[in-house]
Structure formats: structure tokens, C-alpha cells
Amino acid sequence: MFFQLEPWVQASAGLLMLSLLAFTARAIAQWLLLRVFKDLRTQLNQRWTQVVLDTTVLHRLAQLVPSLVVQIGVQVVPHLPPSGVTVIRNVAVAITVVHAVRVLMALLDALLASEPGSNASGTVSTRSIKGYVQLGKLALFLLGAILAIAALIDRSPLILLSGLGAMSAVLMLVFKDTILSFTAGVQLASNNMLRVGDWIEMPQVGADGDVIDIALHTVKVQNWDKTITTIPTWRLMSESYRNWRGMSESGGRRIKRTLRLDTHSVHFLTPQDIDRLSHITLLRPYLEGKQHDVRATNEGLRERLGAVAEVPANQRRLTNLGTFRAYVEAYLRAHPGIHPQMTLMVRAMEPTPEGVPLELYCFTATTAWVEYERIQGDVFDHLLAILPEFGLRPFQTPSGSDLRAGLEGLLRTA
């Protein structure tokens, strides 16, 4: 009875049955793939199974079935003209290409998600493959577009590729940033210059914080004020930036700060001062050694100069500044928050109109920012408070209240 119907009715009915068969095949394939291979993925529990048998990959793989069924079955639809068969088959081939590209993109996404330390945003704890994944997606998109268009127009893809060759200059201009960013990303990764989690500082773009994402075109930096700075990847190769990873991995963070002392408070120590300071536990070894050296030097001067050696200016004497410098070094070496294996130095810098700068150069035993600032604050709080014990004063530019107090004092004495 079916074959007694009009040809166009038979063709329409055949296409309808083919459509129903295609969608039924997709439902069956999707059920089998998600049911069987999902259990297999759970049993094997290997990284490659998590990628290949990912749920999204299997779901998109099932989308290939309808177009494949149409490609095979369109040829047996009765009374369908050859031109109609060609058009439907070409459209089915183009749809197959699109779904195949989507399957491969899902594989790349699953590969990115399977990286150690990955999170929902696709970032990893050390080296990021996100840039390579994005480049792979771009290449798949371009290749899929060429194959799909070639299938729709029923021409060889080589014809389209030859046309693209003539447009190479335009393509280079369009994809200039992509090419530069990919090259920069390869160099950054191969030379281990940048990782997710690194603290970088790039003042020219306002970046000062942790790298949270490395993509094909951009690198995202979360600044300490929680703002996000987006940097083109190629700029990290063409411009300079500071990476604090070495500091973080070393286990110590540098303190380099000066304490400015009033020049007029620097003087020689008297025997009473030395006796008083000898009661400071940290200073006792220094003073004992220095007093022995001073006595030996002065005795040699007496033998060589005679009575002239008794003139104070001809004798070797200790200063409160040198003693304080020795105390600061001993204090830092005994401080539990200062790294004992890294450079530690206390030096007097060249005097300036703002006093004598005493520079502390050392490293804390931690790299945590809050703890670092606490240790640094404790050190300088203590040093400022103990200055009067050595007869020293910190330098401070006179303020309005200081000048007013001085004038009031002069008026009272007058």
C-alpha cells in the first residue's frame, strides 16, 4: 500500500522515518555510552579514563549518531531526487564535522580539568596548559569551519585552503595578537618564568599581586587590594616585571630599612657608660672583647708615645654608635623571627642632613606578609625604645610644636 502512494508522499514519509530513526539511534547511543562507559570510568579510575570517558565527551559523542544515520539512510529514501540526496548528505556531513569538533573540544576541556590542582575556572597551581588548550580549540574551530563549508558547497577542502593561502597577509594581521601571545606563552612555560600562584610586580600596568590565571591571550593578576589586572601575555616577554617566587621559595623575606640617628647624640663612652652597658646580656661578649683590644692598643701607644698617650684624643675609645650597632646585630641574631642562615648586616651609612642612617639588612624566617610586617615592626619598636640607653636620639625634623616650645622656653628665660 505504501508503494501505491504518490512519489512525493513516499519521499516525505521516508524522510520522516529516517529522522525518527536518527533520533532514536541517538537516544540509544547516549544511554549506552553514559551507562556502560560511566561505570567503566569509575572502575578504572585512571587519569586517561577521566579524560576520554568524561560525561561531556560521551554526551557530545552521542550527537554524532543522527547525522551518520542520515548520511547512510538518505540513499534508500524512495523517490528522492539525486539533487535532494546530495544536499541532505552534504548537510549531514557538515553537521557531523561540527559535532566531531565539539567532541575534540570537550576532550581538551577534560584534559585541562584533569590537571593536578585544577579548579572550576581552569587554572592550575603551577604551570598552566590553558593557553595550549585555547590554541587547540582555535585550530579545531578553523579546521572544522573549513571542512563544514567544503561539505556544504560540495568542494574539496584544498580549494578553500588555497584561497586562505592568498589571504595569509590578512590572516597574519587578524591573528597577530594570538601568534604573539602563543609564542610568549611557550617561552614563559619552557623557561619556567611564570606560574599560577606567583607574586609578580609590574608597575607599568598597575599589577602587584598573585597570578591567578594564565590563558592564551591574557594573564590575570589579583592585586593585594583584590582588584584584577589583565595583562596581555606577549607583554610579559616584551617588558620587564618582578617575580617574587625566589623569595617565597627561599623561606626568608628581606628587611632593608634605615634608622636615622641624631648626629649630635654620637659621643665616646665613659667608663661609667661601659660598666652600665656591660649588664646587657647581648652586649657583654662584645664589650669584653672590645675592652681587651682597647687596653692592648692604648698600652702600645703609651710605650710608643709616652705621656702624650694620656691625651684622650690620642687614645682608642669606644663610641655609643659603634656599641649600639653591635647591640643591634646581636639582637637580630638572637631574634627568633630572623633567619639565621641568610645575610645579616648592620651598617652605618654616610651622614646626611637628616642624621646618620643606620641600615638593617636581614631576612625574616617567614615569607608570610602579615607575619613579616609584625616581626619588622617589633624589631624597630624595640630599637627606638632602647636608644636612650646608649645616649642616642632618633633624628626628627622639627615641627611647629617643637618650634613653639623652643620660643616659649626662650621667653621664659628672658
124 and 19 share one domain:
yes
CB contact burial 169-181 (16+ within 10 A = b; e otherwise): eeeeeeeeebebb
Q: What is the SS3 assignment for 135?
A: helix
Of 222-236, 279-293, 392-406, least confident by mean pLDDT is 392-406
Domain boundary among the residues 159, 176, 194 is at 194
Domain boundary among the residues 141, 167, 194 is at 194
Q: What is the SS3 assignment for 6?
A: coil
Cell numbers 626568608 correspond to: 252
67 and 186 share one domain:
yes
Q: What is the SS3 assignment for 104?
A: helix
Q: Determine, yes or no, domain membership for 353.
A: yes
Q: Is the pLDDT of residue 10 over 70?
A: no
pLDDT in tens, 267-322: 999 989 999 999 999 999 999 998 888 888 878 777 777 776 677 777 788 999 99
pLDDT in tens, 111-170: 877 776 544 444 444 556 776 787 788 788 888 888 888 888 877 777 766 666 666 666
158 and 70 share one domain:
yes
Q: What is the pLDDT of residue 143?
A: 84
Distance between CA atoms of 385 and 268, rounded to whole angstroms? 21
What residues pair up with 199 in beta bridges, in sequence order? 210
Domain count, the chain: 2
Rounded CA Rg of the chain = 40
Q: Determine, yes or no, domain membership for 120.
A: yes
DSSP string, 178-203: HHHHHHHHHHHHHTT---TT-EEEEG
Q: Is the pLDDT of residue 266 over 70?
A: yes
CB-neighbour burial class of residue 101 (10 A; exposed 0-12, middle 13-18, buried 19+): buried
Task: Please report, for residues 30, 34, 40, 232, the alpha-carbon distance to residue 37 in angstroms, rounded to integers and kept in the order given.
Answer: 10, 6, 5, 41
Residues of the domain holding 361: 256-390
Q: What is the SS3 assignment for 392?
A: coil
Q: Determine, yes or no, domain membership for 211.
A: no
Q: What is this structure's pTM?
A: 0.60
Q: What is the pLDDT of residue 119?
A: 44
